[in-house]
């Protein structure tokens, strides 16, 4: 898989200069973020925020969520195939199909806001090449960012076109995976000024992702694939006060199979090979992301206006093998060995408009006032077909067994405001609020012998108020103590009901909400050689959205309550020039506080799925001159993921998933404009389970378990200017 340094050759100084260029008062050594939709020092933001800079992404050779997301305190993820990732922050997860972590690309909210379009597992896994940074905001962000930020927010911040000079970067890489194949990649970016008032920036990448899962029918390394895409952005400044920027992002992801192996349903040990599964049909997953944004920024002097228009699309074409679930039934009915295939196509189309006014400069009163509108059209199209158990070929005479389409429309209007009042140099108070109204409609149509003929419509609407209150005390310019109370929500919606469904199945499901109580301290100590952030939090989660199956149809429901409490810490020490030591970790105890629906399983006191109580990362990075023109670098990191519980299951209950750790390392040299870097991932060849399927996800009573990538080694070579 290629390559390591995904943003290689955008140097730390250059990346910081990008952030500093828009604000002459900022020190280049300070970390600047836009968590509150205005540029601020990270130290001044009264909430828990992690920032992964271009330099940090380069150092860990990041290519996807799995490479960097779990390096963030209280962050975990669930993934069984490239392109299907569920992000979890602070344990806020019950396995529903609506996202609990919102995703932004610059000014664009991306992905579906509704639970009717698989938003939770279709999180856009954007290749982090040519990014300025990734901001991760923990805890509800409903005031400024709206729906689906129950647990937090992931925000990709891209590098804007620069008018100062020509810049370019290029790299190529190769990576070999133990027990698997070899991958490679190439990346390039160029920044071109078009005079003193305009510029264009373009980047592109291609990578072949190696596989490591074998299948007796389909061969070796069946989970390989390819990913490619790019971005083009243009910027114009007709006057010193007016900036217009347009951006287009595209990415295609093609995965040929899942990262799962077949394990025993009791012991969770492999029933075939250590890296092997058995499937009746191949399971490709193809994803296409498209994001288009236009932003106008006008400085009126005391007030700044930002108007952003966005259009985002997502297309998925996937085949799943449910033979373990349907095969015995079909074989018994028709008297011949049969399996099944489920063909699924998902489309999301989303338009968003946001306009906001923000006070300019440093004043006693700072404020943001905005309006937001979004419109979605989504479609899920599924076909269940019978296949020959021996060959995997479709049995035309019996297919389709069932056809189902669920079309949905979603509209939301919102108004929001955020105010910070500086009572003194040491004390300020930030208060925000957001009122949102949404309306949804659905049309479900089914046919086929296992589904029956039906056409069902549904309508729902929500009115939700979210808020945040955050007092902060700053005894000096290098320390901030804060408290924060904040609320987030996830929209409800109408259920797509199975024909002749029992009265116990709800006709619609409501919004669920989280209320977060947080206390933290951020400090720069020893003349900024040591930075520390420590946060304690408690989250109440009410009217939890849950997902279950009735008569073979997935439905959403509300049920029960939960709470999550914990401690997060991050620290970085630079004891001597060139050496950086970092440590972060979290303790998160997330549990149900009421029984969930009997259809779902889960009892009062059960832990929320896929949340490790303990997790953390230790890392050391060292660089030093080897000569007048050559600099050497070396780094090593250890990541620990504690034991977790699998998803709720009314029949089997939750499984205990063991803890695992990963050791990664890299070493390289930089000379003039060039860099060579060697790296290794998962040096101890650790085997960790990231997702566990339920009964029927593998043949012969086994379960499908997704595992982390085995040990791998790679090399990258690049140039920058």
Distance CA 15, CA 670 (A): 17
> Model-level pTM?
0.92
Q: CA 515 from chain center: how many Å?
A: 21
Task: Please check the confidence at residue 12 and state whether its pLDDT lies above 50.
Answer: no
pLDDT at 548: 77
**What CATH topology corresponds to 12-390+410-720?**
Maltoporin; Chain A (2.40.170)
pLDDT at 170: 95
pLDDT at 158: 94
Task: Please check the confidence at residue 19 and state whether its pLDDT lies above 70.
Answer: no
pLDDT at 153: 96
Strand, coil or helix: 54: helix
Higher pLDDT, residue 296 or 35: 296
Task: Please check the confidence at residue 614 and state whether its pLDDT lies above 50.
Answer: yes
pLDDT at 293: 98
Identify the band that residue 414 occupies on the pLDDT scale cut at 50, 70 and 90. very high
Q: CA 76 from chain center: how many Å?
A: 10
**Bridge-partner residues for 437, per DSSP?**
413, 463
Distance CA 311, CA 468 (A): 28
Averaged pLDDT of the chain: 91
Task: Please check the confidence at residue 4 and state whether its pLDDT lies above 50.
Answer: no
pLDDT at 379: 97
**pLDDT tens string 97-124:** 899 999 999 999 999 999 899 999 999 9
Higher pLDDT, residue 20 or 93: 93
DSSP state of 116: T
Query: What is the residue whose two structure tokens read 């990448």?
Result: 205
Beta strands 553-558 and 512-525, pairing class:
unpaired
pLDDT at 17: 30
Task: Please check the confidence at residue 553 and state whether its pLDDT lies above 80.
Answer: no
Contact 321, 260 (CB under 8 A): no
Distance CA 352, CA 310 (A): 5
pLDDT at 558: 86
In the chain, pLDDT over 70 holds for what percent of residues? 94
Strand, coil or helix: 57: helix
pLDDT at 50: 95
Identify which of 366, 372, 371, 463 has the alpha carbon closest to the alpha carbon of residue 418: 366
**pLDDT tens string 476-519:** 999 999 999 999 999 999 986 666 666 667 778 889 999 999 99
**pLDDT tens string 645-694:** 999 887 778 999 999 999 999 999 999 899 999 999 999 999 999 999 98
Identify the band that residue 15 occupies on the pLDDT scale cut at 50, 70 and 90. very low
Identify the band that residue 3 occupies on the pLDDT scale cut at 50, 70 and 90. very low
Task: Please check the confidence at residue 199 and state whether its pLDDT lies above 70.
Answer: yes
Average pLDDT rounded to a whole number, residues 354-379: 95
Judged by average pLDDT, the poorest of 10-14, 402-406, 509-513, 555-559 is 10-14
pLDDT at 1: 34
In the chain, pLDDT over 90 holds for what percent of residues? 81
Distance CA 311, CA 110 (A): 9
pLDDT at 495: 82
Strand, coil or helix: 120: coil
Average pLDDT rounded to a whole number, residues 335-340: 94
Q: Please give the backbone phi and psi of residue 47, each rounded to the nearest 5 degrees, phi first.
A: -165, 170
Average pLDDT rounded to a whole number, residues 599-619: 93
pLDDT at 709: 96
Identify which of 45, 48, 148, 64 has the alpha carbon closest to the alpha carbon of residue 104: 148
Identify the band that residue 546 occupies on the pLDDT scale cut at 50, 70 and 90. confident
| Domain definitions of the chain by residue range | 12-390+410-720
Task: Please check the confidence at residue 633 and state whether its pLDDT lies above 90.
Answer: yes
- Could you tell me how many residues make up the chain? 721
Judged by average pLDDT, the poorest of 344-348, 571-575, 647-651 is 647-651
* 197, burial (CB in 10 Å: exposed 0-12, middle 13-18, buried 19+): middle
Consecutive H or E run containing 693: none
Average pLDDT rounded to a whole number, residues 447-462: 89
């Amino acid at each position: 898989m290629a390559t390591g340094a995904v943003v290689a050759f955008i140097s730390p100084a250059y990346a910081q200069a990008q952030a500093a260029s828009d604000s002459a008062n900022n020190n280049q050594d300070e970390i600047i973020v836009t968590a509150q939709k205005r540029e601020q020092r990270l130290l001044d933001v009264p909430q828990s925020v992690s920032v992964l800079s271009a330099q940090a992404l380069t150092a860990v050779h990041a290519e996807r969520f799995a490479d960097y997301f779990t390096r963030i305190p209280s962050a975990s993820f669930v993934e069984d195939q490239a392109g299907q990732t569920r992000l979890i922050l602070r344990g806020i997860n019950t396995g529903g199909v609506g996202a609990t972590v919102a995703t932004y690309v610059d000014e664009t909210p991306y992905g579906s806001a509704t639970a009717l379009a698989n938003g939770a597992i279709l999180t856009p896994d954007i290749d982090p090449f040519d990014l300025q940074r990734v901001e991760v905001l923990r805890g509800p962000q409903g005031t400024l960012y709206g729906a689906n930020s129950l647990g937090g927010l992931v925000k990709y911040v891209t590098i804007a076109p620069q008018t100062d000079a020509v810049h370019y970067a290029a790299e190529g890489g190769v990576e070999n995976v133990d027990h698997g194949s070899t991958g490679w990649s190439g990346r390039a970016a160029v920044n071109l000024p078009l005079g003193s008032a305009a510029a264009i920036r373009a980047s592109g990448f291609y990578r072949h992702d190696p596989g490591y899962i074998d299948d007796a029918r389909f061969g070796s390394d069946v989970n390989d694939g390819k990913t490619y895409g790019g971005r083009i952005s243009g910027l114009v400044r007709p006057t010193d006060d007016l900036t217009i920027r347009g951006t287009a992002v595209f990415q295609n992801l093609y995965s040929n199979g899942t990262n799962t192996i077949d394990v025993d349903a009791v012991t969770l040990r492999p029933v075939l090979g250590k890296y092997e599964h058995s499937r009746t049909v191949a399971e490709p997953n193809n994803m296409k992301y498209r994001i288009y944004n236009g932003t106008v920024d006008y400085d009126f002097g005391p007030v700044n206006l930002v108007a952003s228009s966005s259009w985002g699309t997502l297309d998925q074409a996937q085949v799943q093998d449910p033979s373990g679930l349907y095969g015995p039934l079909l074989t018994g009915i028709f008297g011949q060995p049969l399996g099944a295939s489920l063909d699924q196509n998902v489309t999301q189309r989303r338009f968003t408009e946001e306009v906001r006014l923000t006070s300019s400069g440093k004043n006693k009163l700072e404020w943001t006032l905005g309006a937001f509108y979004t419109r979605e059209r989504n479609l899920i199209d599924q076909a269940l077909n019978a296949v020959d158990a021996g060959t995997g070929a479709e049995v035309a005479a019996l297919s389709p067994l069932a056809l189902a389409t669920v079309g949905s429309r979603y509209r939301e209007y919102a108004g929001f405001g955020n105010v910070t009042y500086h009572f003194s140099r040491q004390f300020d108070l930030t208060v925000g609020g957001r009122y949102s109204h949404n309306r949804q409609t659905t049309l479900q149509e089914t046919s086929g012998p296992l589904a029956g003929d039906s056409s069902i419509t549904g309508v729902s609407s929500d009115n939700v108020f979210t808020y945040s209150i955050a007092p902060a005390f700053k005894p000096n310019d290098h320390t901030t103590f804060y408290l924060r109370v904040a609320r987030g929500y996830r929209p409800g919606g109408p259920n797509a009901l199975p024909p002749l469904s029992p009265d116990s199945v709800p006709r619609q499901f409501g919004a669920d909400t989280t209320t977060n109580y947080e206390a933290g301290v951020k400090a720069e100590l020893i003349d900024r050689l040591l930075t520390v952030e420590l946060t304690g939090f408690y989250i109440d989660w009410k009217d939890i959205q849950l997902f279950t199956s009735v008569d073979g149809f997935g439905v959403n429901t509300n049920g029960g309550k939960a709470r999550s409490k914990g401690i997060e810490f991050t620290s970085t020490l630079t004891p001597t020039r060139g050496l950086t030591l970092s440590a972060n970790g979290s303790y998160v105890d997330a549990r149900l506080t009421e029984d969930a629906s009997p259809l779902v399983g889960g009892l009062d006191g059960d832990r929320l799925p896929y949340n490790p109580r303990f997790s953390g990362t230790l890392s050391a990075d060292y660089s030093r001159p080897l000569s007048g023109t050559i600099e050497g670098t070396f780094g090593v990191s250890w990541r620990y993921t504690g034991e977790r519980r699998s998803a709720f299951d009314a029949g089997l209950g939750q499984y205990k998933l063991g803890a695992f750790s990963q050791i990664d390392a890299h070493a390289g040299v930089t000379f003039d404009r060039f860099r060579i870097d060697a790296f290794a991932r998962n040096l101890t060849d650790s085997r960790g389970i990231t997702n566990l399927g339920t009964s029927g996800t593998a043949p012969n009573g086994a379960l499908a378990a997704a595992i982390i990538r085995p040990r791998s080694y790679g090399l990258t070579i690049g140039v920058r200017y």
